[in-house]
């Protein structure tokens, strides 16, 4: 009996365990069923949501904005169908305000388009040719952006962007005014363009080009502030002539209130030189001053550039009253800061020149702030052993010495000219370039090139080489 009692007790406990296991299994099935229903419902909501988005007529820019915005919400929708419903209702409310934003965006687009047309009309009036519509749009949009930023400001521009739902009445009014102003500008510009095009049509192309070239030549009017600079550049015909004038000219273009005196060692002016000077755009005077025949026939070193520089001095005595003159050879290299420093010279100014002789530099020697001598690779008994690029002279100081000029003595041109400015003491010489502790000019020399061989005009007839051949400078 005792054994049977224990067996019955054990059987009772086993029945209770079966009931417990059965309840756990039914709970697991219920959880699985609810999870299945939840996932299925979530998937249905997501499909409906994506279908709803695909049916909305958004602009391309707005679709990107809303996709960025909705992607952060989709993750939360996987966990809460209720939040999906709330978000859907919120999205629908925002969608109702979308027409206002779309209208604003359309207004902004119209403004940009108007600016594009205005810019294209301006380009057309200037006579420029645009290769493609895409390049024209790039230029026009670049011109339109500053207008929008100026009229609306950064904050208002952001509020008027594609994704902005916080549009205010002030922003809409500002954009409307901008569009009205730009439309008015477009009408005025197109009217002027039509008049200009008709005038250009009536004028022959060759005449128009010649008049344009004549009108665009810069004129020089000396101003007292800052004092004017007169740059005297001797030149002569050689293969490197146009290249060196171009290099120097674009350096001088960075200097204000300057007149470039280009003086060629020739009997007649060269149209190629004049064309190059016109294209550079620096105010200039182009003159000729041939070397005297007696110096051309000598077998010794020729005094090159002397007649050119003396012609420039003569010009200044007749046409200038103030400012500073400087002899700038076309094969040198210049830091533009030296031009601003020499502009305020009272009498004579000096500074070092690099790449001169075996010493590598030609410079005044300064000790305790005073000029005590000169450092140069060749002294040669000169009182002023300096390079031509290492000094400048005041125009007033020059005009007080009417006999000052440069001698026809090779190697002694600088020394002879400075001697002719007597009386000139060392205390009258101003020390530039950080009291001659810096090099701002270099006596560089261009490699000599052989003359170009003659063009075979039979073989290259009616090609671009016929035009290029006219630009080659031969001795």
Helices assigned H by DSSP within 268-402? 271-280, 293-296, 306-319, 337-342, 395-399
414 catalytic per annotation? yes
- Half-sphere exposure of residue 323, counting CA atoms within 13 Å on the CB side? 23
DSSP reduced 3-state for 1: coil
DSSP string, 228-239: PEEEEEEE--ST
Q: Any bridge partners for residue 349, and if so which?
A: 392, 430
| CA distances (Å), origin 366, targets 9, 300, 311, 432 | 122, 36, 33, 11
Contacts 24+ apart (CB under 8 A), 87-96: 88/49, 88/52, 94/165, 95/56
| CA distances (Å), origin 174, targets 26, 107, 160, 187 | 68, 11, 10, 20
220 closest CA partner among 313, 320, 139:
320
Whole-angstrom distance, CA of residue 201 vs CA of residue 197: 6
Active-site residue, selected from the candidate residues 128, 414, 435, 466: 414
Whole-angstrom distance, CA of residue 156 vs CA of residue 68: 22
Say if residues 216 and 126 touch (Cβ distance below 8 Å). Answer: no
Helix or strand (DSSP H, E) at 52: helix 2-54
Whole-angstrom distance, CA of residue 396 vs CA of residue 404: 12
Which active-site residues does the annotation give? 414
């Amino acid at each position: 009996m005792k054994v049977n009692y224990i067996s019955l007790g054990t059987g009772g406990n086993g029945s209770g365990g079966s009931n417990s296991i059965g309840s756990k299994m039914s709970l697991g099935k219920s959880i699985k069923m609810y999870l299945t229903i939840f996932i299925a419902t979530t998937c249905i909501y997501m499909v409906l949501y994506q279908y709803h988005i695909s049916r909305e007529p958004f602009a391309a820019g707005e679709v990107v904005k809303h996709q960025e915005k909705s992607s952060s919400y989709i993750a939360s929708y996987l966990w809460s169908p209720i939040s999906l419903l709330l978000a859907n209702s919120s999205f629908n409310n925002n969608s109702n305000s979308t027409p206002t934003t779309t209208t604003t965006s359309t207004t902004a687009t119209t403004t940009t388009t108007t600016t594009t047309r205005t810019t294209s009309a301006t380009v057309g009036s200037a006579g420029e040719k645009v290769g493609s519509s895409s390049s024209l749009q790039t230029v026009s949009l670049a011109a339109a952006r500053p207008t929008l930023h100026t009229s609306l400001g950064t904050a208002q521009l952001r509020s008027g962007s594609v994704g902005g739902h916080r549009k205010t009445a002030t922003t809409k009014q500002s954009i409307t005014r901008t569009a009205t102003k730009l439309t008015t500008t477009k009408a005025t510009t197109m009217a002027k363009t039509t008049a200009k095009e008709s005038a250009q049509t009536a004028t022959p192309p060759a005449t128009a080009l010649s008049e344009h070239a004549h009108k665009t030549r810069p004129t020089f009017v000396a101003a007292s502030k800052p004092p004017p600079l007169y740059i005297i550049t001797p030149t002569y015909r050689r293969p490197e002539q146009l290249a060196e004038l171009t290099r120097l000219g674009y350096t001088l273009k960075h200097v204000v209130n300057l007149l470039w005196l280009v003086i060629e060692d020739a009997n007649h002016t060269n149209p190629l030189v004049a064309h190059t000077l016109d294209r550079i755009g620096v105010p200039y005077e182009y003159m000729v001053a041939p070397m005297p025949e007696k110096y051309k026939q000598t077998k010794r070193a020729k005094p090159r550039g002397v007649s050119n520089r003396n012609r420039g001095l003569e010009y200044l005595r007749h046409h200038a009253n103030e400012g500073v003159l400087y002899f700038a050879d076309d094969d040198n290299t210049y830091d533009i800061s030296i031009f601003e420093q020499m502009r305020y010279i009272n009498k004579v100014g000096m500074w070092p020149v690099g790449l001169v002789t075996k010493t590598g530099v030609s410079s005044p020697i300064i000790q305790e702030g005073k000029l005590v001598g000169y450092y140069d690779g060749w002294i040669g008994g000169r009182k002023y052993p300096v390079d031509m690029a290492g000094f400048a002279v005041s125009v007033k100081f020059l005009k007080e010495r009417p006999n000052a000029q440069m001698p026809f003595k090779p190697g002694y041109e600088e020394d002879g000219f400075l001697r002719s400015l007597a009386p000139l003491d060392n205390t009258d010489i101003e020390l530039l370039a950080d009291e001659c502790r810096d090099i701002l000019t270099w006596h560089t020399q261009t490699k000599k090139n052989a003359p170009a061989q003659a063009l075979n005009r039979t073989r290259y007839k009616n090609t671009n080489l016929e035009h290029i051949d006219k630009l080659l400078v031969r001795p």
